[in-house]
Structure 1
Amino acid sequence: MTELFDAMPAGTPDVPVRLRERLATAAERAGILDVAYRTVDTPVGSLLLAATPAGLVRVVYATSGHDAALADLAGRVSPRILHAPARLDAVARQLEEYFTGRRRAFDVPLDLRLASGFRRSVLAHLAEIGYGRTESYAQVATAAGSPRAVRAVGTACATNPVPVVLPCHRVVRADGSSGGYVGGTAAKQTLLSLETP
């Protein structure tokens, strides 16, 4: 089958937007679009969103490298990747609502194939940490079924494939300090401040 990997940003002069849209629509109809992606601008920088037919599979901060993330998805999910923003309209809309204070929880299908085992258990628990609340790494380890796996919780948060949507930013150190974050400490602070009444 034709490889549809396309890592060029939307609006690249040599590929008109209308042609991209027609290609995305045709690929979707033919069932050969395995991963659709788009970017959105947010208060924490540009986020790459990627989805499979099963759901949102990646949210990537610019600091992590959007092109590198697309290449990783090509190797781990499918090389049939295309800039197809329409498939991610609902996610983009919910992110905009979240960042403007009109949404406290996300309601989009997720494809968590990039996580397994204990990491998957941690991700499942992250969705239960309510807006404006935080939990320590130790509390998350206990909730995920392995009270001594505090460092593993840190690793699970650092490799969370869908940050912001699954709120690993709400996991903090036992002393209440923020700790590390995949998007950087400034992004974590912005997200925590956004959720503070």
Structure 2
Amino acid sequence: MTGRDPWADDWAHPVDDWKAEVANDDTRLGYLDWIDARVENDASDAGRTLPAIRPMREAVRIRATDRMGNVAYIHREANRPMRCMLANGVSAALFYAGIRVDEATCRFALDDCVTADQALAIVRRYGSLDYGYCHAGPPPGFDTAHAIPAAPMLLSGLMDEIDRVASVNPQFAQQLDANLLARARTLVAMDVAPLSTDT
């Protein structure tokens, strides 16, 4: 509490909010103690509310060969949607890789799988008996980069860092656009939700 002006309005915790809580008998703390309690509460909640990063999904390349020797590939670069491509490089529907029944369900299952072995099992389950399926390995240049956090998650981390710097340096907080920060917090609250871990 030393060195802080008790009459200054904290940008992240406006004095009007504190007054409303006092009027409703929701707090008996002084303004600066109320700010400290809110910051401590926000810090303890931050670990529970931040979403986990989706696990990295492997690059997949499955070769589908029919009885005539025609080849198609079902492939995905890391953390991208599954695609089908003919041997000559032309994009095609999964139909051309022998997925003739319930193509949409197969595509959803493929988009959710994490490993190449899971993808191969899904393709064999939905694929035609007239086709042979095997791992072809990712071609050179496939993206195998780690998962990139979603924009709302990055924004959430940025907002946490801004709060940390503002608590250490109150002059920093006075230079920030409060409306912009409020909109960013609303966006984070709407879009950042814990990811489901059941697959």
TM-score category, normalised to shorter length: under 0.3
**TM-score of the superposed pair, with normalisation by structure 1:** 0.20
The structure with the larger Rg is 2
RCO comparison, higher one (Cα < 8 Å, 6+): 2
Specify which structure has the higher proportion of strand.
1
TM-score with structure 2 length normalisation?
0.20
